[in-house]
Structure 1
C-alpha cells in the first residue's frame, strides 16, 4: 500500500451536519486510483458542521487495508472493529463510548447517504452480510478475509521453509546400517536368546525350538521296560533352565507352553551417532525388538505346538541434529493413520502421545564418527565408560555446547559434577566462564584433588563450596564427615560460634553412637538425623536466650530429652493450648487405642510400630519431628477412621519419635511416611521394612503377631 501517496489525497470533508439527533459519527466513502489500482476510502467525521479533518481514514484495496489517524499521522493494521461476536465498538470511538448494543451502533454510526452504502457493497463484492443496515460489517469482513489470506500465505511460506529444511536434513543423513545394528543388538543386548517351548505328557515331552522352528517329541524319562531305557533322548525340560534343541543343537531357555500367550518380546533402545555435513553430528535414536512366537494348532488332546519362530526388527524413532552455530533440531518418526505411511516431522506429538527420548546404550561406531566434528573433544566416550550405565548423548552434547568445561571435568574424573550439569543443575557452578575447576566450582584450589578422589560427589562439592563461602579452612577428613552430617551453612555457623568444628563433629558422632565413614546406610542416616537434632537444639537454646558458652548447655547428657525440653519451652503456651484443644475435640483417638493396637502393632529385632495413643501424642509427634502430622486434617482422619497415624520407633528408644506413618484404614496401604523435617531417613531399608509390615498385616492374624513386653 502506497501510504505517502494516500496521505497526499485531500480529505473528502463533511460540509453540513445531519439532522438525525442520535447520529454521532458520519461516514463518507469514495473510490480513488492510487498506483493504478482502485482503493476504497472511508472517512469518519463527527456529526458537526464544517468537519474538514476526519477522525480516521480507512483504506482498502484488493490485497491490503490500512487505517490512518490524521491527528497523529500514524498508520496501523487495526480492523474497523474488534471481533464482532465479543466487542461492539469502532476504532474511531472514545473509550467512554464503548460497550453499546447493536441498535445503538446503528443509530450512532451512519453513512452520509445511500450512495456510500452502494459504493461499499460494490467494492466489497463477495462478502455476505445478512443485514445490510450494518454497513460496517462489509468492511470488517473484507478486512478479515484479507488478514486470513495473508496469514495463510505466511503459514504456507513458513511450512515450506520447514519442509525444505527437513528434506535437506534427510538428504544429508547417512544411510542407517540396519543389518549391523540388528546383529549388534542381538549379540550384545539379547545375547542370541532362544527359547525351547515344551509340553510334558507322561515320560514324553514335545519341544518347539524358536531358532529352527522345528517341533519334535522325545522321551525324557526312563520307563519300566528294557526298550524304554534305551529310548531316552533328552533331559527333563524345566521352566527357566537352559537346554539344547534336539534338532539344531541351539542353546535355549525352556518355557512351558501353558505360560505362553501367543508371543512375547523384549526391546532395547540404542543411540547411533553419525557425522552430518561438514562438522555437524546427528544422533539417531533407535528401538530394537526381538519377538518370539509360538504357533498353536488344535489337536486331539487340545492345543498343540505347530511351530515356533523368532524375529528381530528395529525402528528409528528420532534424529537429533547438531550444527555449528545452530540450535538443536530434533526430527521425529511418525505414522499417518489415513494413508498408512511413515513420515518424518520436525516437531513432536502432544499430550500423552509425546515421543520421549531416554537414556540408552551408545553404539561404538558413534565415537569413530565424532572425529572431525564439533564434538571431537567432548569426552563422551570417557564419560560413558566412567558412569558404566546408559546415558543420553543428546543431553550431553547440549550441555557440552553450553559448557565446554565438561571435557576437562570428565577427564579429571569429576563424574558426579558432570552428571549434575547434564541434569541442568547449574546451581553448583560459581563462575561459568572460568577455565580452572576450582574457580568454576567455587572451591579452594587445595580441595580439587580430594574432589577428584571422590569422583566429583555433589555432597562433597557442596561442603567445599560452603567452606569457601564461609572463608574457612577444613581438613579433608572434616569435609567428609561434615558432608555425612548433611548440615547446612546456617546450622554450622550457629554451632561454630561456641565450639570448634571438630568438637561439633565429635559430639554428633558420640550422640549418634555410629562412626563416620562406615558406608552403612543405617549409620549414615543415624548420623544425619542426630546432626539435625543437635543443630535444632542449639538453635532453640540460642533463640531462648541461653548462654551457649556454658558447656552444660552445649553438651547435654541426653540429647533427645534436652531437645524435647527445648521444643516444649519454645512453644509452651502455644503447645499447652493446642494439646487441651485436641484432647477435647478428638477424645475417641485415645479411647480406641487398645482396639487399634491389636490390629496394627508389630515389632521385630530392630523396630516397632504402633498406633498413636492420643491426639496429644500426634500433635507432639509433629512438633518434635517438625512436620505437619499434628494438623487438624490428620487428626480428623484418624478420629473418623479414614486413616490412622502410626508411630515407628527404634526398639532401643521406644518413646523417641523416629518415623510417622499414615496408613489407609480400608485397604491396608501406606499413604505416606516421613521422619524429621519431612525427610525419609534410610529410605531404602525403611521402605523395605514397611513393605514387610504390610505383608504381615495381610497374611497373619492379630493373635499371631509378636506382642510387646
Structure 2
C-alpha cells in the first residue's frame, strides 16, 4: 500500500449532514486506482456542519492489505474497524447495544453500501451494520498474512531440516547393535526350564531349541545312555545342551512371555566443516519365550532374542549457531516415522536420557569445534551423562574444560546442570578468578574434587577479606553456615572459637564423615547462630561471654524464642484464657483428684489455658492447640503436667488422660519424644493404678529398669 500517495488524495467530503438526532457518524466511500491497484476508501465524518471537510478516520482497503489513517494525528495504524469489544468502533465512543450502533452510524447513501459489498465480497447478517463488511475483510487479510508468514517460516524450517539430513552420515546401526550386545548386554542369554522329576526341559533363547534331558541319575540301565545336563536352578548360570551358549536359568512358571532391557547410547559424528551432530540412540534387547499346546499341556517353543535400535534425536552443533535438536516422530495416519525440528508438547514430550557415549565419538570430535571440550574426561568421572547438555554448556562457558581437566568434577557437574550461581566472573580465564576464591585455595579445592560447600566457604572467605586455615575452611563447610551468619558471629568472636563452640555443643567431632554426626553439627551450628542473632536483635551485648557461651544451648535458644515472640505470645495467651476459662476454674477440683508426688516426680493438672499453651511451646509438641484446650475445657480429657520434683516449674512430660474412664490416652516429652521411656511408663502405670484404686496418698516407688 502506497501510503504517501494516498495521503495526497483529497478527502471525499460529506455532502450533507443527517437531520436524525440519533445519527452521530456518517460514512462516505469511493473506489480509486492507486499504483495500478483498486483501493476502497471509507471516510467516517461526524454528523456536524463543521466536520464536513475532514473525517474522523480514513480506512483504505485493497485486496491484500488495509490501513487506517487518522487525519488529526497524521498517523497510520493497522487498527481494524471494530475494536473487539461488544459494539466497539474505532471512531466512536463505547456503544451499549447493536441497535444503538445501527442508529448512530450510517452511510451517506445506498451506493456507498453497494460499493462496500461489491469490494469486500463477504456475507454479513444485517446490512445496517455495514462496518462489519469492512471488519471481516480486514480479518481475512490478517488471517491470510499470518498463514502465509507461518507457511514461509515452516518452509524455511523444512529446507533447513532437509539440509541437515542430507549432510548427516548414515547411522552404523549394525555396528551399534553388535557393540551394545557385546559390551552393554554382555551377550546375555536365558535358559528357560521346567522340571519333571529327574528330567528337565530347557529352551535356549539363543538357538531357540528345546532340550529334554536328565539332570539326576536314574536307577534303570537305560538312564545311563540318556542325554545329561546340569540341574537348572533359578538365577544360576548354565550351558545350553544344544548350542553350548552360557545363559541364566529362568523357571518357565515365572516367565510372562517377554522380558527386555534397554540402554541409551550417544554417537557423535563430524557435521559439515567444523560442526558436530550428536545422535541419541535407544537400544533394546528382548527375550521372548513362546508356548504351544502339547500332548502334556503347555510346552515351551521357539524361544528367541530380538535386538533393535532406534535413533530418537539428533543434536546439531555449528560454530556461531544455536543448537538444533531434531526428533524422530511417528505419524499414526500414514504409519511412518519422520524427522521434525521441534519436540512434542506436554506429557508426550520426547526426553533425552543420560547414557553412554560411544568411543568413536571422541575420535570424530578431534576434527570438530569440540576438540578441546574435555567431554571424554568428564564422561570418565561421572559415568552416564547427557553429552548434549554438556556441549551446550561448553559453548556457553568454555571454562568448563579447565574445571574438568583440573579434577573439579563437582563444579563441572553443577555447571552442566546450569547452577551458574557458583561463578564469580564468567569471562575470567584463571580458575581462582572464575570461581571467586583465593589463588592458594585452588589446590585444596582440587583435593576435594570441587566440593560445592567447600567452594562456597572459600568464596565467603574472599568476600569477607579473611585468611582462614585449610582446616577452618573444611570445618566451616561442614557446618553449612551462610556468609551472613558467619559474619555476624565473627564480629564478637574468632572463627576458631565459633567452630570450637559448635563442636562442643554438638558433641561430635569434625571430619568424621559420619552422616548423623555431620547432620548434628549442621543443626547445632544453625541453632547457635540463630541464638546469637536473636540476642543481638534484642539488644544484648554479645561481647559478654556469658551470652556467647550459654550452659544449655537448647534452653537458651528456647528462652530467646519466647522473648522474641513475647508480644505475640502474650496476645495468644490472653485469647486462650478468654476462650477456655473453665480450665482455670476447675483446677482446684482436678488437683484434688489427680495430684501426686513422690521422691522423684510430681504430677498435677494444668492450672490454666495459658499454662497448656506454654507447655506445648516449650516442649515443641501440639498440646497447646485448640483441640486439647477444648477437650480440657469441656471435661472430655484432661492435660496433666509430670515434672521432676526438684524442678517443678520446668516442663518434662505432658500427659493426656480420659476424664470418664481413668486411662492414659498419650504422654510425650520434648519434640514428641518419650524420655526414659521404660522407667516413666512404669511410673505412670503405677500412678494410674493408684488413681483407679483411690490410693494416691501412698508413695509410688520409682521403678528402676536394668538394661543388659
The TM-score normalised by the length of structure 2 is: 0.81
**Alpha carbons of 1:44 and 1:238: their partners in 2 closer, same or farther (altered >3 Å)?**
same
The residue matched to 1:451 in structure 2 has which SS?
helix
State how far apart, in whole Å, the 2-side matches of 1:384 and 1:587 are.
71
1:327 paired to 2:326: no
**Alpha carbons of 1:417 and 1:630: their partners in 2 closer, same or farther (altered >3 Å)?**
farther
Q: 2:261 aligns with which of 262, 266, 277?
A: 266
1:560 paired to 2:518: no
State how far apart, in whole Å, the 2-side matches of 1:538 and 1:523 are.
22
The superposition leaves residues 426-456 of structure 1 with CA deviations (integer Å, 9 ceiling, x where unpaired) of 1111111111111111111111111111111
**Alpha carbons of 1:586 and 1:563: their partners in 2 closer, same or farther (altered >3 Å)?**
farther
1:548 paired to 2:561: no
State how far apart, in whole Å, the 1-side matches of 2:194 and 2:366 are.
54
Shift of 1:251: 0.7
1:427 paired to 2:428: no
State how far apart, in whole Å, the 2-side matches of 1:116 and 1:124 are.
12
Q: 1:313 aligns with which of 290, 308, 311?
A: 308
Shift of 1:247: 0.6
Contact 1:67 1:77 (C-alpha < 8 Å) held by counterparts: yes
State how far apart, in whole Å, the 2-side matches of 1:138 and 1:569 are.
75
Residues 10-89 of structure 1 correspond to what in structure 2 (within 5 A)?
10-49=10-49, 51-83=52-84, 86-89=85-88
State how far apart, in whole Å, the 1-side matches of 2:223 and 2:576 are.
82
The superposition leaves residues 450-492 of structure 1 with CA deviations (integer Å, 9 ceiling, x where unpaired) of 1111111101000000111111100001100110111112222
**Structure 2 partner of 1:445:** 439
State how far apart, in whole Å, the 1-side matches of 2:76 and 2:623 are.
65
Shift of 1:631: 9.7
Q: 1:187 aligns with which of 182, 193, 201?
A: 182
The residue matched to 2:123 in structure 1 has which SS?
coil
**Structure 1 partner of 2:2:** 2
Shift of 1:574: 4.1
State how far apart, in whole Å, the 1-side matches of 2:625 and 2:164 are.
61
**Structure 2 partner of 1:649:** none
Shift of 1:372: 2.1
State how far apart, in whole Å, the 1-side matches of 2:472 and 2:357 are.
40
1:110 paired to 2:111: no
**Structure 2 partner of 1:403:** 397
**Alpha carbons of 1:412 and 1:4: their partners in 2 closer, same or farther (altered >3 Å)?**
same
Contact 1:587 1:615 (C-alpha < 8 Å) held by counterparts: no
Shift of 1:277: 0.8
**Structure 1 partner of 2:368:** 373
The superposition leaves residues 587-642 of structure 1 with CA deviations (integer Å, 9 ceiling, x where unpaired) of 99xxxxxxxxxxxxxxxxxxxxxxxxx8766544659xxxxx89969999999xxx
**Structure 1 partner of 2:238:** 243
Shift of 1:222: 2.4
State how far apart, in whole Å, the 2-side matches of 1:573 and 1:80 are.
63
**Alpha carbons of 1:371 and 1:45: their partners in 2 closer, same or farther (altered >3 Å)?**
same
Contact 2:205 2:303 (C-alpha < 8 Å) held by counterparts: yes
State how far apart, in whole Å, the 2-side matches of 1:318 and 1:637 are.
63
Contact 1:330 1:346 (C-alpha < 8 Å) held by counterparts: yes
Contact 2:44 2:55 (C-alpha < 8 Å) held by counterparts: yes
Shift of 1:518: 1.4
**Structure 2 partner of 1:163:** 158
Q: Could you tell me which runs of 5 or more consecutive residues in structure 2 were left unpaired when the two chains were aligned.
A: 584-611, 633-649, 653-669, 672-704
Shift of 1:509: 1.8
1:100 paired to 2:100: no
State how far apart, in whole Å, the 2-side matches of 1:229 and 1:20 are.
121
**Alpha carbons of 1:635 and 1:371: their partners in 2 closer, same or farther (altered >3 Å)?**
farther
The residue matched to 1:103 in structure 2 has which SS?
helix
More divergent stretch after superposition (59-68 vs 490-499): 490-499
Contact 1:560 1:656 (C-alpha < 8 Å) held by counterparts: no
Contact 2:378 2:409 (C-alpha < 8 Å) held by counterparts: yes
Contact 1:222 1:232 (C-alpha < 8 Å) held by counterparts: no
The residue matched to 2:525 in structure 1 has which SS?
helix
The TM-score normalised by the length of structure 1 is: 0.81
The superposition leaves residues 27-83 of structure 1 with CA deviations (integer Å, 9 ceiling, x where unpaired) of 111111112222211111111225111111111122221111112222122211134
State how far apart, in whole Å, the 2-side matches of 1:53 and 1:402 are.
58
State how far apart, in whole Å, the 2-side matches of 1:630 and 1:7 are.
82
State how far apart, in whole Å, the 2-side matches of 1:280 and 1:576 are.
70
**Structure 2 partner of 1:124:** 120
- How many residue pairs get matched? 611
**Structure 1 partner of 2:271:** 276
**Structure 2 partner of 1:467:** 461
1:301 paired to 2:296: yes
Q: Could you tell me which runs of 5 or more consecutive residues in structure 1 were left unpaired when the two chains were aligned.
A: 589-613, 624-628, 640-654, 658-674, 677-706
State how far apart, in whole Å, the 2-side matches of 1:306 and 1:422 are.
49
The superposition leaves residues 352-397 of structure 1 with CA deviations (integer Å, 9 ceiling, x where unpaired) of 101111211111111111112111111111111122x211111111
State how far apart, in whole Å, the 2-side matches of 1:73 and 1:379 are.
62
State how far apart, in whole Å, the 2-side matches of 1:219 and 1:87 are.
89
Shift of 1:519: 1.2
Q: 1:504 aligns with which of 498, 501, 504?
A: 498
Shift of 1:581: 6.3
The residue matched to 2:529 in structure 1 has which SS?
helix
Contact 1:266 1:289 (C-alpha < 8 Å) held by counterparts: yes
Contact 1:579 1:619 (C-alpha < 8 Å) held by counterparts: no
**Alpha carbons of 1:256 and 1:638: their partners in 2 closer, same or farther (altered >3 Å)?**
farther
